[in-house]
Amino acid sequence: METNTARGDNEALTRLRGIGIVGEASLKMLLLILMGLVVLDIVIQGVCCIYAHRGAGASQAQQSPRVVLSGSGSTFIYPEMKVWITRFEKENPSISIIYNPTGSGTGQSQLLKEKVVDFACSDPPLSHEQYEKYKGQVLQMPVIIGAVAIVYKIPGYNGPLNLSAKVIAEIYLGKIKYWDDPEIARLNPGAKLPHAVIKVIHRSDASGTTEVFTFFLHKAAPSLWPASLVGKAIEWPVDSTGRGLGAKGNQGVAEYFKRLGSAIAYVELGYALENKFPIAAIRNAAGRFVKPSPETMQAAVASALRSGVLPDSPLADWSNALNAIVYAPGEKAYPIVSFSFMMTWARYPAPKAAALKKFIEYINTVGQSEIVEGYAPIPQGLREINLKALSIIKGG
Amino acid sequence: MSTPGKPLYRSDKLLYYALLPFAAVVIAAFILLFAVLGYVSAPAIKKYGVRLLTTSQWAPNEANPARSVYGLLAPLFGTLVSSTIAVLLALPVTISVVLVIEEYAPERWREIIGSIIEVMAGLPTIVYGLWGLEVLAPLLQKHIYSPLHQLLGFIPLFSCRPVTGFNLATAGVLLAIMILPYMVAVARDAYRAIPFTYKEAALAIGATRYEYAKIMLGLAKPGIVAAALLGFGRAAGETVAVALVVGNVPLVSGCLFKPAYTISSLIANQFSMAPLYPYMMSVLFTGGLILLAIGMAANTVAVIMIARARKRLG
């Protein structure tokens, strides 16, 4: 190889000489000039760099100090957070916010244990034990309402579908196997449902979506769906029949769902809308069949707020919030709703505290009218509770 | 280069000492990896012991972490079975490919096949995963699994109805395709390492093409076995692609058409939320430790086989 390239070089040289461009002496000159140019370039660049640095330092000192807030956590709130951050930064050029969608669990631990972020977003609130541990030091604010949609695909049937917690529970227990089951037919009079096997998709990763979904099943059909089957990751009874499938993330569930001819799945509303999946109407506590929409989602939270089951301060224990809003009373209320919480400390260095307060104020005022499809803004009463944070968070 | 045992010249010594730290980094990284895996998985091993390997319940309990139950049996089973399927499917293909490109194919075809295999080896695994999800799983379900179940349903392996294409069998087939390039590369090297005199001898005694191939494969056998073992190790560690097609359900079943789990897809699925559950992270690291052990065992045996083959051929 080496001899080859050397030979190649020589050949090239001979050719150049042949053309008459390069003579023996001028070749050396050329090399010298080239080397000189390189050295000159290095020197110039070095000098430039030093000056550039000084210049940048000087101009930065003149501007107001830039505050960087970092957050991490819920992937669920990420699309909304992106919108909020972009608009907020436009209005407040001296503050920059970074949000990393690492998952609710990681977000909580990065805020509380590792203390590497300034705020976290989490779909589940702090558990009661966690709350006791950080009582008075950590604030929790529900900033957005989400919903879990039950999506279905039935071969040869494109009509609407009504489902109840009881039927969904029996499907996920593996007891209802076909779409033409009498229990499903009873909820959907007149619908021609085929005798097709239902493939049941659930999340394989631990997920807040699963927790909300299973919590709903337990609250609305406790005799069928025991408390032991409530959580972010559970053992799915339907799996033992071979008809259950697990997929990672809403995206994974959507991918499986798209490729199956006859299936049921639960996904965040946003994914169901984005993919135009048919969404089932679910029987709520008042006995009405309701589809998820900003109105029906907000109705659920508003009714929980009216009945006084939600806490009234960011410093309170929110661990029971899901119980308050899932399967809430009210004719319009969609039964499978959830919050996404923003979590912060009560004390920060002064500039950070000021910036964070600005952001919280923005989210709970203007931000609530900039809600992305698939979510719902929180009702006015809840915004007022969240805004109490402005007087709780202290700087310095 | 100085031969071992001979005193080093000064400049050689300098070079030796200059290179030493970099070589040490590799060893240190490996030891550290083992140590960290061991350290983090210790709490889970202490708490659950052998139950980690004998049960397949995956029931994290947030309200009462001490009552969480984790078992790695189903994922371990899935890893071993899917990797075995992969090797069993890829091995005959590997042998055929090596024979074709080394003995039969004309020069141009040899190059084309060779570069196709190189491209296959270089493809990101997620590409295989998406292809498996989009093309392979539905295809296999419709044209392979359903007929197999109807015709050979009495065999336990095919006894359950293939409800979806996302199952252990699909994971195995996809893995077979993914490990093929590596197996071909290793087996081809082994085949090429057969000294020319053997080939001459075989041809000189008038062996037919078939006999010749048989003799050559016999000589390359340790290398081919090594290829299979390395392929197995790779298959066991494959994550993204498998997670997309395996179905992600902790089931231990004798039927290949049921969805399953593998250790690496379990880790990929559970890792992001694991900090919420006190023991889950530790259990996942135990899974990692098991993967490392499987990989190391396969690699060690493979390396020994290759070394033995070299010695025998001289």
Q: Find out whether A207 and A233 touch, Cβ atoms under 8 Å.
A: yes
pLDDT tens by residue, A264-323: 999 999 889 999 999 999 999 999 999 999 999 999 999 999 988 899 999 999 999 999
Considering only the C-alpha atoms of chain B, give the largest distance between any 2 of them, rounded to a whole number of Å.
Answer: 77
SS3 of residue A106 by DSSP: helix
Please report the DSSP string for A27-85 in residue order.
Answer: HHHHHHHHHHHHHHHHHHHHHHHHHHHHHHHHHHHHSPPPEEEEEEE-STTHHHHHHHH
Nearest CA to CA, how far is B304 from chain A (Å)? 33
8 Å CB contact of B61 and A231: yes
- Which helix (H) or strand (E) segment is B59 a member of? strand B58-59
B260 at A interface, C-beta within 8 A = no
Contact B254/A at CB under 8 A: no
Mutate to test the interface with B, among A128, A205, A211, A323 (most CBs of B within 10 A): A205
| Residue B3, C-beta contacts closer than 8 angstroms, at least 6 positions apart | none
Residues of B with CB below 8 A from A106's CB?
A: 272-273, 275
Taking an 8 Å cut-off on Cβ atoms, the answer to whether A205 and B269 are in contact is yes
How many beta-carbon pairs under 8 angstroms link A with B? 102
Q: Please say whether the dihedral angle defined by the alpha carbons of residues A282, A284, A287 and A289, taken in this order, is positive or negative.
A: negative
Q: Do A239 and B259 touch (CB under 8 A)?
A: yes
Residue of chain A whose Cα is closest to the Cα of B134:
A259
A16-25, A38-47, B42-51: which is most confident: B42-51
Q: How many angstroms separate the CA atoms of B64 and B81, rounded?
A: 34
As a whole number of angstroms, the distance between CA A48 and CA A50 comes to: 6
Angstrom distances, CA of residue A86 to CA of A73, A102, A119:
18, 19, 17
Q: Which residues of B touch A206 (CB under 8 A)?
A: 60, 270, 272-274, 276-277, 280
Rounded Cα distance, A373 and A271, in Å: 10
Q: Compute the nearest-CA separation of B26 from chain A (Å).
A: 29
B259/A108 touch (CB, cutoff 8 Å), yes or no: no
Q: Where in chain B is the domain with CATH 1.10.3720.10?
A: 73-313
Class (C level, CATH) for B73-313: mainly alpha
Q: Select from A234, A226, A218, A236 the least CA-distant residue to A327.
A: A218
Nearest to A311 by CA among A213, A386, A380: A386
pTM of the model: 0.77
Q: pLDDT digits over A153-187, tens only?
A: 999 999 999 999 999 999 999 999 999 999 999 99
pLDDT grade, residue A142 (50/70/90)? very high
| Residue length of chain A | 396
Quick check: B64 contacting A, CB < 8 Å? no
Which residue in A245, A262, A320 has the most chain B C-beta atoms within 10 A of its own C-beta, making it the best mutation to test that interface? A245
Cβ B273–A248 below 8 Å, yes or no? no
Q: State the sign of the Cα–Cα–Cα–Cα dihedral B59, B62, B63, B64.
A: positive
The residues pairing with B276 across neighbouring beta strands, listed in sequence order, are none
Q: Return the top range by mean pLDDT from A43-52, A61-70, A215-224.
A: A215-224
Nearest chain A Cα distance for residue B72, angstroms? 14
- Rg over alpha carbons for chain B, rounded to the nearest Å, is 23
Chain centre to alpha carbon of residue A108 = 14
pLDDT in tens, chain B (314 residues): 445 556 677 788 888 888 888 889 999 998 999 999 999 999 999 888 888 888 888 888 776 777 888 989 999 999 999 999 999 999 999 999 999 888 888 889 888 988 898 899 889 999 999 999 999 999 999 899 989 998 888 888 888 888 888 999 999 999 999 999 999 999 998 898 888 898 899 989 988 888 998 999 988 888 899 899 999 999 998 988 999 999 998 888 889 999 999 999 999 888 877 877 888 889 999 999 999 999 899 889 888 888 887 777 66
pLDDT in tens, A199-221: 999 999 888 889 899 999 999 99
d(CA A9, CA A2): 11
Distance of CA A15 to the CA centre of its chain: 64
Question: Measured between alpha carbons, how far is B32 from B44 in angstroms, rounded to an integer?
Answer: 19
pLDDT in tens, B39-95: 999 999 988 888 888 888 888 877 677 788 898 999 999 999 999 999 999 999 999
Q: Is the dihedral of CA B126, B128, B129, B130 positive or negative?
A: positive
